Amino acid sequence: MTPEVTGFSKLNKHQKIDWLVANHFQNTEKAKQTLHNYWNANEQLQQLHDEFAENTLSNFYLPFSIAPNFTINNKRYTIPMTIEESSVVAAASNAAKFWNKRGGFKATVINTEKIGQVHFSFSGKKEHLNSFFKSIKSKLIAAITPIEANMKKRGGGLLDIQLRDKTQELANYYQLHCTFETVDAMGANFINTCLEKFAEVLQIEALEYDDFSDAEKNIEIIMSILSNYVPNCVVKAEVSCKVSELPNTENLSSLEYAEKFVRAINIAEKEPYRAVTHNKGIMNGIDAVVIATGNDFRAIEASAHAYAAKNGSYSSLTHAHITNDVFTYYIEIPLAIGTIGGLTSLHPMVKLALELLEKPNAKQLMEIIAVAGLAQNFGAVNSLITTGIQKGHMKMHLLNILNQHHATAEEKQKIVQFFTKNTVTHSEVIKQLALLRA
């Protein structure tokens, strides 16, 4: 059993590693060496990484890739993607090339409203609380004037505060439902600071409110926190072309391809088991760009999946239809992201990624990210309705299998050549590697 440790966070990095390997690994030197191998040789840069999180011992690398040839709103982009899944970048790149010949991607930000809430308990009369809120709303707004000064200079700030009665869901539960515009910042710290000030003012003013009984004056604040669900911070990306411009093969005519594609999307709209995998593919593309640009992929994931279930059943985030012989395929997705603050001003690779995208503002980055998700989904569905997903996936996975078995450069070259005309399976790769070595 691992012994309990006290004061671990106060140890220096070498002492933390010594404790870790002594209590968790049989080969302590190998464990130490692995951790040291992933340190950055630049001490200043390594210190920067160490300070991103608590108890940092080393770095965990992910590939930084690019998907070129994206045309979005008639502008050409090379999109940075940070992801370890081998087929994602290839699928996105192929989709970009495919739609370049058909007018490219169109994207529009529908809204950029973000949400924060003060959750509180009140056991008095509802009409008293409503009157109280109306009387102090202007004081709540005034209380954050110094907090939102810089945000207002950039064109953002508080949009509105509403009192919401949630007592039908939970006894005595109310909330201040607050909406914000945070422009190019993701805005979490700004929103949370405003909310905590609202909570403070709410309690103070309640104690002074003459129309409250003594019991009503004691409003209990449960918590003040932003919501990562942003159904009014939404972007739409789409592609369209004449049905006749879609692939035409010996197995499928262009019309049959379009109809089969739409049918596949319809299944994802109606069948939750399929929708989860379908949307996971979308998030492959989205998360890769979100991570590369220093944004919070966990928040994006949570919001996207909540949005996919907004109508009461989990469904596809993408949609497709054929109207007047035109095939249209689109995504609507909530994306709360930023291009200033956080890692965007600290992480050198994030700075590089944003420069690669020509330093977009938050709305432009929303459009780029949505397009990446749409492109990734197109690539996946295209494979599923034609060759099947495994043919391309396993070819991309081939090098991973070879690396697992320590193949040499010469062995890799010969085996990759062999599988240009043969189906890739894990067992067949091992077999061919063994035959080559024999």
Angle between helices 362-385 and 389-404 (to 10 degrees): 100
Concerning whether 280 is annotated as a catalytic residue, the answer is yes
Q: Which of 265, 268, 248 lies closest to 330 in space, CA to CA?
A: 265
- Catalytic pick among 280, 319, 321, 395: 280
Strand order in the sheet with 173-181: 157-165, 173-181, 114-121, 220-227
Q: Write out the two tokens for 371.
A: 């397009």
**Strand 173-181 with 318-323, pairing:** unpaired
Concerning whether 125 is annotated as a catalytic residue, the answer is no
Alpha-carbon span 257 to 243, nearest angstrom: 9
Alpha-carbon span 127 to 129, nearest angstrom: 5
- Catalytic pick among 18, 50, 85, 245: 85
At 246, phi and psi to the nearest 5?
-80, 165
Q: How many residues does the chain have?
A: 438
Q: Are 186 and 341 in contact (CB under 8 A)?
A: yes
- Catalytic pick among 296, 347, 363, 367: 296
Residue 23 has what DSSP assignment? Answer: H
Q: Are 390 and 383 in contact (CB under 8 A)?
A: no
Q: Is 35 helix (H, G, I), strand (E, B) or coil?
A: helix
Concerning whether 238 is annotated as a catalytic residue, the answer is no
Concerning whether 208 is annotated as a catalytic residue, the answer is no
Q: Are 242 and 325 in contact (CB under 8 A)?
A: yes
- Catalytic pick among 114, 119, 363, 393: 393
Catalytic residues: 85, 280, 296, 393
